[in-house]
Structure 1
Amino acid sequence: MEAERELLFKHQMSKKSSFRLKIKKLEPVRDRYMFTDNRHPEKGIMSTVLGVLSVTALSLSVYFSYVNGGQAIMRYAAAAFVAAIFSCIGLVLGIRSRFEKDIFKLFPNLGIALNLIAFLFVVFILVLGLG
């Protein structure tokens, strides 16, 4: 009976010691950060800038036309035309930068969204003008 108790005690001790060996030591703080080679693509940043310019120019041209009683001056039409061109270029740049490898996708996605909004806004204005 005592032999069985000793075996049981040794078995329990071996479980405890194996449990103690599995405890992780505290790792240094620098191991918590994951460094990466990803970068923000220049085309994506340019796409976002063109998208912001396009949306701003279109919004201001529509607002100033509204303030002017619905009469669009040639300046506002030229600004909207340039914004449409910027929107198309920005959309192409955003899509091309989205296919690059090892990048952060914030600026390409933001550029695509802004330029798509501006492009659809131009199409909406043209459809309203035809009707």
Structure 2
Amino acid sequence: MALPTFTPPCNPSPGTTETHEPKVLRAEFGDGYTQATADGINHDRADLEATWEILTPDERDEMVTFFKARGGYAPFFYKFPWHAEALKWTVARWTETIVSGSYHRMTATFRQSFTMAN
């Protein structure tokens, strides 16, 4: 089964944070010498904290339904506006805030997925 593509109602608001923490194996020796190497071929995984500042209830519901359907573990494709291509992501955490009246703010933590699923 093909992976779904996340298509939010609008691009995330300015201020999205992208974090990288490469996974590295290190061996430290008694004389202060250190040897390091990448831990696997996909050792540099991206985490993004994206916020949508103003969403209508229907837009918020659409996004929440998508995230809940993926269960926090199943990957999907999404192309952030500044990336050249769609990458695989999972979202296991999001927060919703009522901004004013019936407008919502949503923040989601995207974690790059290197699963073999397509």
TM-score (normalizing by structure 1): 0.26
Q: Which has the larger radius of gyration?
A: 1
Higher helix content, 1 or 2: 1
More strand by share: 2
Structure 2 length-normalised TM: 0.28
